[in-house]
């Protein structure tokens, strides 16, 4: 969400590299991650996104986000990618945590994002009623 508000092509491409890195941190690219990458690709206009940001280039990729708004947009979407599957993967969570630290996102703000995502997930999930 809000990826179209990233300032330029460099930020959009870097976001896609980071998203792919988070998505494949566990060694695979599952259907939930593929769906999210496709959505991200539509929002950013970046179609060649299968370039994994390696940990050595992570600092360079993160440095492209030079303002608070772009870091918050990128981080919230990366966190969503890390939570795409039913159960959060430890390796993906570690990747998201590295980005959080590089973006200087506070743990309190991360918790706000997580609460918001739980609400969003709940509103999109099928509801089952017991009689």
Task: Give me the tens of pLDDT residue by residue for the chain, a chain 131 residues long.
Answer: 799 999 999 999 999 999 999 999 988 888 888 999 999 999 999 998 776 656 678 899 999 999 999 999 999 999 988 877 767 788 998 999 999 999 999 999 888 887 877 766 654 444 444 43
Q: What is the pLDDT of residue 102?
A: 94
Torsion from C-alpha of 91, 94, 100, 106, nearest 10 degrees: 130
- Structural domain that includes position 98: 3-120
The Cα-based distances of 112 to 38, 46, 118 in angstroms read: 25, 28, 10
Q: Is residue 7 part of a domain?
A: yes
The residue behind tokens 């998201």 is: 96
User: CA 78 to CA 126: how far, in whole Å?
Assistant: 24
Q: Is residue 90 part of a domain?
A: yes
Count of structural domains, the chain: 1
Helix 107-124 with 68-82: angle, nearest 10 deg = 50
């Amino acid at each position: 969400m809000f990826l179209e508000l990233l300032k330029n092509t460099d930020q959009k491409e870097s976001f896609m590299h980071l998203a792919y890195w988070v998505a494949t941190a566990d060694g695979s690219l599952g259907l939930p991650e593929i769906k999210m990458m496709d959505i991200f690709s539509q929002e950013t206009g970046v179609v060649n996104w299968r370039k994994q940001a390696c940990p050595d280039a992570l600092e360079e990729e993160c440095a492209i986000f030079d303002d608070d708004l772009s870091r918050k947009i990128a981080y919230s979407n990366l966190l969503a990618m890390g939570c795409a599957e039913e159960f959060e993967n430890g390796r993906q969570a570690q990747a998201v945590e590295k980005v959080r630290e590089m973006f200087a996102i506070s743990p309190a703000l991360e918790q706000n994002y997580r609460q918001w995502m739980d609400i969003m997930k709940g509103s999109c999930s099928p509801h089952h009623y017991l009689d």
